[in-house]
Amino acid sequence: MFLVFQIFVRASDVLNLNEEAFKEIIQGDGLFLVEFFAPWCGHCKALAPEYETAATMLKEKGITLIQVDCTVETRLCETYEVTGYPTLKVFKDGSHAPYEGPRKATSIVSYMIKQTLPVVTSISLENFEDFKASDEIILIAFLDTLDDPLNDLFFSLASKYRNKYSFGLSSDPEVFKKVKVTAPAIYMFKKAEDVYIVYRGKYEYGELEAFLNSESLPLFGELLPETYERYISSKVPIGCIFVSSVEEKKMFEASLLPLAVKYRGKVSLVTIDATLYGGHAENLNLKQTWPAFAVQETASNKKYPFDQSLELHAENLDKFLDDYVSGLLVPTIKSEPLPETQDGPVTVVVANSFKDVVLDSHKDVLLEFYAPWCGHCKNLAPKYDILGELFKSNHELGKNVMIAKIDATANDIPDNLEIKGFPTIMLFAANNKGNPIEYNGPRTVESFIEFIHQKGHHRVNAMQYYLTKPSTQQESDSSDTGSIEHDEL
């Protein structure tokens, strides 16, 4: 008996399947990439042409790309825990895993082909050229024998990064002659630049991983949503050049190429389209006038903006970068002015006062990180003011506890603090300021009081003082639902 199911074949080679057809195909042999989408989703629409192009390119390799419309196949999407669109999953041999590559056709093709290869490909003279040309970034280990301890190290690295890069291993003396290499050695081959880079560090996992992450970056790239994660994970400082036109981009790529070579591995030079991503300049403490340049340290998020009163050309930038790598530059901090007075019930903190007011204080400090536009922050404000007034107006309470707030959109936040949404509330206990405790309970005055009492170093309990406050203040607090929702960044 033949199973009849519905398949819609588009002009490209993407299959749009219903639940019955999906289950039938996935249970068979083969490699599949599945996009769970919604027709109204903007990101899905942007992905569509790339996905279709990739489907055509992969068809001849026996790799199938599938779409599932989650507005129709709701049960199927619930089965695979689809919570956002598009969600991409790789299916192979009855199991599935998230797709973790960029959403460009060439990247999709490269990622899916890697799923058909072993973690490390054995390289001989016959397949060397084909393998070297099979991916943008190739890492090959040349070993006299497979018993070399470097083999295990190389395999561990390949297992972690197989979806991003291709890894090969050769013990063939004929290959050694062709490449003119003496084993043991590790080479990186970069197709776009038609170069190979020799690894000269210690044969230790951390050093080899750092080499892979830094040297795999383009000599002079472009910072885009799909490339941002690669630059961040490399931990190499990024030299961001904001440009406002294609002509300006080409001009800087040509004139600054020698600097990209000179500072390779120390600073990764990239262009940023200011017409699309100019807002990032403010994150780097730059004014939105173009062109502009700043160095961003990805590991610490320290920022070193180039003086915008100076002309941005190769000579000035060379001096700036030389001073940076020599440790002569001081990072800038975005900060509001220091408050002239602290008349309000809640102490106002800015970046330039964070250390003095929060970290160096002998008090337990409850600090709210907020954004002026955040609706949840606005709802919290009346209750937070009541809390602040409670501690500020009572000497016994206020001598050991401070209620404070900081506008996290107008002030740089210390690197060790992770603010994922607004409001974020943390308690900096007097005896452990380096490890603040995030508050995730109901946003009521009573709950804040209990949190400070239980988690603060001084164990201050303000509940009896709060209960003697006028009932109108307590009523304004009890009207809140106690929501712990956040406005995302």
Q: Quick check: helix, strand or coil at residue 138?
A: strand
The C-alpha atoms of residue 177 and residue 158 are separated, in whole angstroms, by: 24
Cβ(243)–Cβ(292) under 8 Å? no
**180 Rama sector, left if φ>0, alpha if ψ -120 to 50, beta otherwise:** left
Catalytic residue among 44, 77, 240, 374: 44
How far apart CA 290 and CA 297 sit, in angstroms, is: 21
CA of residue 106 relative to chain centroid, distance: 21
Examine the residue annotation and report whether 44 is marked as an active-site residue of this protein: yes
Distance (Å, rounded) from C-alpha 416 to C-alpha 413?
8
Question: DSSP string covering 418-476, please?
Answer: ---EESEEEEE-TT-TTS-EEE-S--SHHHHHHHHHHHSSS----HHHHHTS-HHHHHH
Answer whether 166's CB lies under 8 Å from 139's CB: yes
Residues 6+ apart with CB under 8 A from 78: none
In whole angstroms, what is the distance from residue 253 CA to residue 240 CA?
A: 12
Residues 6+ apart with CB under 8 A from 249: 222, 243, 271, 273
Cα torsion angle, 135, 141, 143, 149, sign: negative
* Helices 42-59 and 105-114, axial angle in degrees (round to 10): 50
Specify whether the CB–CB gap between 52 and 60 falls below 8 A: no
Number of H helices, E strands in the chain: 20, 23
Sign of the four-CA dihedral 259, 261, 267, 272: positive
Under DSSP, is residue 64 helix (H, G, I), strand (E, B) or coil? strand
- Distance, CA of 53 to CA of 106 (rounded, Å): 9
Which token pair is 85?
A: 């669109």
- Inter-residue contact 231 to 270 (CB < 8 Å): yes
347 SS3 class: strand
240 is annotated as an active-site residue: no
- Long-range interactions of 121-126: CB distance < 8 A, separation 24+: 121/166, 121/167, 121/168, 121/169, 122/168, 122/169, 122/170, 123/168, 123/169, 123/170, 123/172, 123/175, 124/170, 124/172, 124/174, 124/175, 125/172, 125/174, 125/175, 125/178
By annotation, the residues acting in catalysis are: 41, 44
